[in-house]
Amino acid sequence: MSTTPWQGRDDGPGAIHTRWHHMVYAGQKETGEEAQSLAVLGFDSHEGTIRSQGRPGAAEGPHRLRHALAQLAFHGANVVHDRGDIEVDGHHLEEAQAEAGRRIAEAVRDHRMTLVLGGGHETSYAGYLGLAASGRLDGVRTWGVVSFDTHLGTAQEPQATATTVFDQIARAERKAGREFRYVALGISETDNTRARFENAGRIGARYLKDTQLREAELPEAEAWLEERLADLEVIYLSVDLDVLPGETAPGVSAPATLGVPLFVVERLARRVARTGKVAVLDVVGLVPRLDLDERTARAGARLIHWITADGFERPAADASSETARPLLAERQRHLDSGTAGPGGTTATTQPVTGQPVTQAAQGTGTAAAR
């Protein structure tokens, strides 16, 4: 029996000491306020990566991303609801994507934002199925995916892979009669064939290459991105961790020889989040067995933290007391209703297995197996 990844240090009682793992425990109790909260699901898959001849191991990514995220300080008021994982049975990727789509659709209907942890980039097609099935795109004229990735997801293959995902979405959206935009940032010319670039042009993709995303060019990149976000009514934000430099993100199937600096990815992703249009965020590509010093998992957790911070309009950690006071009070209310008070324990329902979880108010937050 393994322990939950949602565990981390506990600096003391009360909302001023809150970390992500505290808010996940608070979110294990339904309060009727889910519409203002964050849902988390995992897609435990590397089948798409295997099919595209990459190194496997991304199926373990959701667990490690949760653990890296659990340890970060939390400065908002909304709780976090972990809605479990979807696993691929053998090589049955398409069936798992369909099941994940059903689960993600429920989360999108119930929550303000849904975070899907991959898994390879085939995770994004599961996320798309969920977004489409949720009804969030009904009546929408123009929506899009903003993808941070070294690779164009426009390969055309006999079966679905990690590199066919945005071509699949574009074809599905043509049938649905909606205008779909694919915006990609960080594309490596050396990692994409002419065929992928031609197909990107065919589906109307807009992209910036990794060589165009140095810190010195950040103002131009921000203006370029703002222009493409302006008329999107709903956004699916996708971050493949292989977009980062190899020294920042060694734990991916194909570490980048150049990549886009973490600072640049963070700045641009936060601008997307601040539109208030992000319905689904996925973070994919982590291969824990290749991750030196957990660098990649930590970078992914940092990006999740800042994207959701801006998406939920969380204040800075050092915001004025006047700004922080009502948020602290709201956070304390969630903590009191979902976890133990000082000196005690509380039993809640573990979201993945449905088994009781007992968490000490003072300690590491260790809980029963996921």
The tens digit of pLDDT for each residue in 131-149 reads 999 999 999 999 999 999 9
Query: Please, which pLDDT band fits residue 338 given cuts at 50, 70 and 90?
Result: low
Rounded to whole angstroms, the Cα distance separating 44 from 31 reads: 28
pLDDT at residue 28 tops 90: no
Mean pLDDT, residues 20-25 taken together: 92
| pLDDT at position 242 | 97
Mean pLDDT, residues 327-352 taken together: 58
| pLDDT at position 340 | 33
pLDDT at residue 360 tops 80: no
pLDDT at residue 344 tops 80: no
Architecture of domain 26-315: 3-Layer(aba) Sandwich (3.40)
CB 18 within 8 A of CB 95: no
Q: What is the pLDDT of residues 244-283, one digit of tens each?
A: 999 999 999 999 999 999 999 999 999 999 999 999 999 9
pLDDT at residue 77 tops 90: no
* Vertex 130: Cα angle to 124 and 135 (nearest 5): 135
Q: φ and ψ at 240, to 5 degrees? A: -95, 120
| pLDDT at position 303 | 98
Mean pLDDT, residues 292-296 taken together: 97
Mean pLDDT, residues 75-95 taken together: 93
For 23, 196, 331, the CA distances from 334, given in Å and listed in that order, are 8, 48, 5
| pLDDT at position 336 | 87
pLDDT at residue 358 tops 50: no
Mean pLDDT, residues 51-64 taken together: 94
pLDDT at residue 97 tops 90: yes
CB 262 within 8 A of CB 247: no
Weakest-pLDDT range from 1-5, 108-112, 140-144, 171-175: 1-5
How high is the mean pLDDT of the chain?
89
pLDDT at residue 315 tops 90: no
Rounded to whole angstroms, the Cα distance separating 34 from 32 reads: 6
pLDDT at residue 357 tops 80: no
Mean pLDDT, residues 46-63 taken together: 93
Rounded to whole angstroms, the Cα distance separating 105 from 114 reads: 9
315 vs 113, more confident: 113
Domain borders along the chain are: 26-315
Measured in whole angstroms, the distance separating CA 345 from the mean position of its chain's CA atoms is 31
152 vs 349, more confident: 152
Q: Which residues contact 331 (CB under 8 A, 6 or more apart)?
A: 15, 18, 23, 74, 76, 77
pLDDT at residue 238 tops 80: yes
First CA to last CA across the chain, in angstroms? 8
